Amino acid sequence: MQIEDERLFETYFRRFAAPVHSFALRRADAETAKDVTAETFLVAWRRRAEMPAVPLPWLYGIARGVLANDRRAGDRRSRLAARVAAQPAPVGSSADHEILRALAVLRENDREALLLSAWEGLSASQAGKVLGCTPAAFAVRLHRARRRLESVLAETAGRGDEAQPERPIPEVPA
């Protein structure tokens, strides 16, 4: 029965992934649409026993829910970024405050890599286990996250905000 379910699901995926992606693309940017399509089929796999004979409207309903969840998460991130940006900087820690503001506008994956390394003090091997990737993959993620954080900090400095001392982003412990 399991093999039969898998084959039927693969057939449905091949047939309906493009329409679901198009549905999501009309409602979100290209990267989000890819994620929504993947998440839609993950939910559909988990709920495959409920799949109707004509699955496309059902899949659209799932995609609609995934899009709504994504929007709510984005709204929460925006509110968090606004709250962090509105916080007064404690005396003597304006650089820390700028880093917190920059972290708040980063994508969740970048923020997580930076926090696991710098705040939690995890090695690449330990952080890789947390994120379900190899130490090398985590190191690449961390490198890219650092570059994005530096870019956000440079943007902030470029807007004429208070000049901040150059502050290197800590390396991941070995």
pLDDT band for 168, please (50, 70, 90 cuts): low
Confidence check: pLDDT of 59 > 90: yes
Domain ranges of the chain: 2-73, 93-158
pLDDT of residue 133: 92
108-131, pLDDT tens digit by residue?
889 999 999 988 889 999 999 988
Closest CA to 9 of 39, 37, 38, 51: 51
Q: Which CATH architecture has domain 93-158?
A: Orthogonal Bundle (1.10)
Own/partner long-range contacts of 80-86 (Cβ < 8 Å, ≥24 apart): 80/104, 81/105
Angstrom CA distances, 101 to 10, 75, 111, 126, 154, stand at 44, 16, 11, 26, 12
3-16, pLDDT tens digit by residue?
677 888 899 999 99
pLDDT band for 174, please (50, 70, 90 cuts): very low
pLDDT of residue 18: 97
> How many residues does this entry show for the chain?
174
In whole numbers, what is the pLDDT of the chain averaged over residues? Answer: 85
- Please, which residues have CB within 8 angstroms of residue 138's CB and are 6 or more apart in sequence? 113, 124, 125, 127, 128, 131, 172
- Between 85 and 172, whose confidence is greater? 85
Instruction: Select from 2.60.120, 2.30.30, 1.10.1740, 1.10.3470 the CATH code of 2-73.
Output: 1.10.1740
CA separation for the pair 104, 82 (Å, rounded): 9
Backbone angles phi, psi at 82, to 5 degrees: -65, -40
Give percent of the chain above pLDDT 70. 83
